[in-house]
Amino acid sequence: MRHRKRKGQLSRTESERNALLSNQVASLFTHQAIKTTLAKAKETRRLAEKLITLAKEDSLHHRRLVFRFLKDKKLIKMLFKEIAPLFAPRQGGYTRIYQLGQRQGDAAKMAMLELVEKRVIKVVEKKKEARHKTAEPKKIVQPSVIKPEVADKGTTTDAAKKKVEHKKNWLKSVKNLFGKKEQ
């Protein structure tokens, strides 16, 4: 009998279900919102809210309890230092579910699960390592980005004008090479 066995099975074994929910919660914490089926969103919500509640008190015991599910030390650090303080005044209800309609392929009910409070994401560009030490990655400059440098009195310098013209000519040549389609 299934008395008091509330959690959904999601048509998976226990280990598959735990892995799925762990990955969904990790994605929710990193991206602040995920798109999934309604049943998965409801199960993910239960686990995410429990983990946020544990993370509100920063102790070794709570970190170990959270580590049972997440298995990622960087993510746990982010949960305890960035996400949990956002929800300190709240007593629950850390996530919300928006129903999105049905998926076109199999008509499954889709939902958007997101955190109620949003954290500020720090954008850090990662530099790709060049294959050869002498090679430098090329940058494509958009025409709207090109602006002449302005001197102190509001006038443009001759060197800046030449630089802008050179970039515009280079951009035109790149467009001529790759922009035309043969018919």
Residue 19 has pLDDT above 60, yes or no: yes
- When comparing pLDDT for 123 and 183, which is higher? 123
Give the separation between CA 70 and CA 25, rounded to whole angstroms. Answer: 8
Q: What is the largest CA-CA distance in the chain?
A: 84
Q: How large is the average pLDDT for residues 38-50? A: 96
Structure confidence at residue 183 as a pLDDT band (50, 70, 90): very low
CA nearest to 55, candidates 34, 42, 70:
70
Q: How large is the average pLDDT for residues 107-134? A: 77
Give the separation between CA 140 and CA 82, rounded to whole angstroms. Answer: 35
Residues 123-169 have pLDDT tens digits of 666 666 656 666 565 665 554 544 545 545 555 577 777 877 877 78
Q: Are 142 and 168 in contact (CB under 8 A)?
A: no
CATH number of this structure's domain 14-115, picked from the four choices 3.90.1030.10, 1.10.1040.10, 3.40.50.12160, 3.40.50.300: 3.90.1030.10
In the chain, residues under CATH classification 3.90.1030.10 are 14-115
